[in-house]
């Protein structure tokens, strides 16, 4: 349990950090999720001395371990003091200086700071707007309860965005807003159900981390069979030219088939590169179609084609190889 004591130190949230007018000397960031990690690296590259505290054993714990490791190594190169498996206990002052006490492996660790950034998640702001008086129901998570068409329990009231969940992304709010607008006009005769089948997101660290669909962690947890194909962006000409030759494209497919279950990309402009895979999953085309599509050289998007090429190499059957050998032997003998 984190104990907050009223102290006279500068503390900010991800919404208020933009209002500061003085560069922090020692910035302490609580949280190792996307927002905490983005702001940690941003302030470090602006010249701040940054310490990031994360209770989990990894940064970005929802991503696959090797992706989290890439981000951690990048942070360490930037001089960020990343403290994993540190549980915050209390804030205190000593001789006019501010400290956070954490527990780590049974020992107490004291961390000095002058500015605190709290990035431990968000809670929907649903109070004080008259929802209670209208009788609009809330979910157990504190968000506005909506059905598959984004309608609340009041037939003419719809909700979208962070207050409705389940995702807290601007692009998902825009996606939901379309359903709210259209369904509010055609109700009660018809209603479109919101499609969350290919929800993408990106964490804007360096390397940038983008994902859509399943990753390996989730596939294992859900018992879903999968095959993994990877392509190292360090081999990509455009990445080499841009001095960003690091990262990976990781694709999960149905075993023996080219149907894409999910994609994780770590690297420069990963959030842009992944768009091709989002379209593939949304509209039902697989790795063969991506491989057969011309990609401009030299671009970062070529990494998608090369990943599809690796998938093809891994899925060539013995029967196909045997036929190829037989045909080439015949060509040598008769031509």
pLDDT at 8 over 70: no
pLDDT at 240 over 90: yes
Q: Supply the range of the domain harboring residue 248.
A: 200-318
155 CB contacts (<8 Å, ≥6 apart)? Answer: 187, 188
Pairing verdict, β 107-113 and 97-104: antiparallel
**Comparison of pLDDT for 325 and 93, the residue scoring more:** 93
pLDDT at 299 over 90: yes
Residues 117-144, mean pLDDT to the nearest whole number: 92
Beta bridge partners of residue 112, listed in sequence order: 99
Residue 70 lies in a domain: yes
| Number of domains the chain is built from | 3
Residues 152, 157, 161, 163, CA torsion sign: negative
Q: What is the CATH number of the domain that holds 271?
A: 3.30.390.30
Residue 112 and residue 53 share a domain: yes
Residue 212 and residue 264 share a domain: yes
Cα–Cα dist 72/207, whole Å: 10
Q: pLDDT band for position 18 (50/70/90)? A: confident
Average pLDDT along the chain: 93
Q: pLDDT band for position 4 (50/70/90)? A: very low
Residue 204 lies in a domain: yes
Residue 302 and residue 212 share a domain: yes
pLDDT in tens, 169-191: 999 999 999 999 999 999 999 99
The last residue of a domain, from among 118, 151, 176: 118
Answer whether 122's CB lies under 8 Å from 162's CB: yes
Q: What is the CATH number of the domain that holds 68?
A: 3.50.50.60
Residue 226 and residue 287 share a domain: yes
51 CB contacts (<8 Å, ≥6 apart)? Answer: 26, 27, 28, 29, 80, 81, 82, 83, 111, 113
Residue 97 and residue 25 share a domain: yes
Residue 278 and residue 225 share a domain: yes
Residue 178 and residue 261 share a domain: no
pLDDT at 3 over 60: no
Residue 195 lies in a domain: no
pLDDT at 163 over 80: yes
Cα–Cα dist 211/199, whole Å: 8
Q: Which own/partner pairs from 319-325 qualify as long-range (CB within 8 Å, at least 24 positions apart)?
A: none
Q: pLDDT band for position 9 (50/70/90)? A: low
Apex CA 55: angle with CA 52 and CA 58, to 5°?
A: 80
Residue 191 lies in a domain: no
pLDDT of residue 325: 73
Cα–Cα dist 263/139, whole Å: 30
Q: Is the peptide bond before 282 cis (omega within 30 degrees of 0)?
A: no
Residue 96 and residue 57 share a domain: yes
For residue 48, give Cα distances in angstroms to 44, 78, 80, 151. 5, 11, 9, 45
Residue 205 and residue 181 share a domain: no
For residue 224, give Cα distances in angstroms to 65, 253, 284. 18, 10, 18
Residue 178 lies in a domain: yes
pLDDT in tens, 195-230: 999 999 999 999 999 999 999 999 999 999 999 999
Residue 163 lies in a domain: yes
Residue 180 and residue 204 share a domain: no
The last residue of a domain, from among 86, 118, 150: 118
Q: pLDDT band for position 5 (50/70/90)? A: very low
pLDDT in tens, 230-239: 999 999 999 9
Complete DSSP assignment for 117-172: EE-S------SSSSHHHHT--B-TTSSBP--TTSB-SSTT-B--STTT-S---HHH
Q: pLDDT band for position 321 (50/70/90)? A: low
pLDDT in tens, 44-92: 999 999 999 999 999 999 999 999 999 999 999 999 999 999 999 999 9
Residue 309 and residue 246 share a domain: yes
Residue 78 and residue 42 share a domain: yes
Residue 194 lies in a domain: no
300: Cα separation from own chain's centroid:
19
Q: Phi then psi for 43, rounded to 5 degrees?
A: -70, -30
pLDDT in tens, 282-296: 999 999 999 999 999
**Comparison of pLDDT for 38 and 333, the residue scoring more:** 38
Q: Which own/partner pairs from 185-194 qualify as long-range (CB within 8 Å, at least 24 positions apart)?
A: 187/149, 187/151, 187/155, 188/155, 191/148, 191/149, 191/151, 192/149, 193/148, 193/149, 194/148, 194/149, 194/150
For residue 140, give Cα distances in angstroms to 121, 143, 152. 16, 7, 14
Q: pLDDT band for position 1 (50/70/90)? A: very low
78 CB contacts (<8 Å, ≥6 apart)? Answer: 41, 44, 45
Residues 5-13, mean pLDDT to the nearest whole number: 53
Q: pLDDT band for position 14 (50/70/90)? A: confident
Residue 49 lies in a domain: yes
């Amino acid at each position: 349990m984190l104990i907050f004591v009223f102290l006279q130190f500068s503390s900010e949230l991800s919404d208020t950090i933009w209002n500061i007018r003085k560069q922090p000397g020692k910035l302490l960031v609580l949280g190792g999720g996307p927002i905490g990690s983005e702001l940690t690296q941003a302030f470090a590259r602006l010249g701040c001395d940054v310490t990031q505290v994360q209770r989990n054993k990894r940064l970005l714990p929802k991503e696959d371990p090797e992706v989290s490791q890439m981000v951690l190594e990048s942070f360490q190169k930037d001089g960020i003091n990343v403290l994993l498996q540190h549980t915050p206990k209390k804030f205190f002052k000593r001789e006019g200086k501010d400290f956070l006490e954490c527990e780590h492996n049974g020992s107490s660790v004291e961390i000095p700071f002058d500015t605190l950034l709290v990035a431990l998640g968000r809670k929907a702001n649903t109070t004080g707007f008259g929802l209670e008086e209208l009788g609009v129901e809330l979910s157990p998570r504190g968000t506005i309860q909506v059905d598959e068409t984004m309608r609340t329990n009041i037939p003419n009231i719809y909700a979208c965005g962070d207050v409705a969940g389940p995702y807290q992304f601007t692009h998902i709010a825009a996606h939901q807003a379309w359903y709210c607008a259209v369904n509010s006009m055609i109700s009660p005769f018809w209603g479109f159900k919101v499609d969350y089948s290919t929800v993408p997101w990106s964490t804007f660290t360096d390397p940038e981390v983008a994902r859509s669909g399943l990753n390996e962690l989730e596939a294992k947890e859900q018992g879903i069979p999968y095959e993994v194909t990877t392509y190292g962006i360090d081999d990509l000409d455009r990445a080499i030219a841009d001095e960003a030759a690091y990262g990976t494209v990781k694709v999960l497919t149905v075993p023996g088939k080219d149907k894409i279950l999910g994609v994780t990309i770590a690297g420069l402009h990963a959030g842009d590169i992944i768009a091709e895979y989002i379209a593939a999953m949304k509209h039902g085309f697989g790795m063969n179609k991506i491989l057969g599509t011309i990609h401009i050289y030299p671009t970062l998007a070529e990494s998608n084609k090369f990943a599809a090429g690796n998938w093809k190499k891994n899925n060539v059957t013995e029967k196909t190889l045997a036929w190829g050998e037989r045909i080439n032997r015949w060509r040598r003998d008769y031509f």
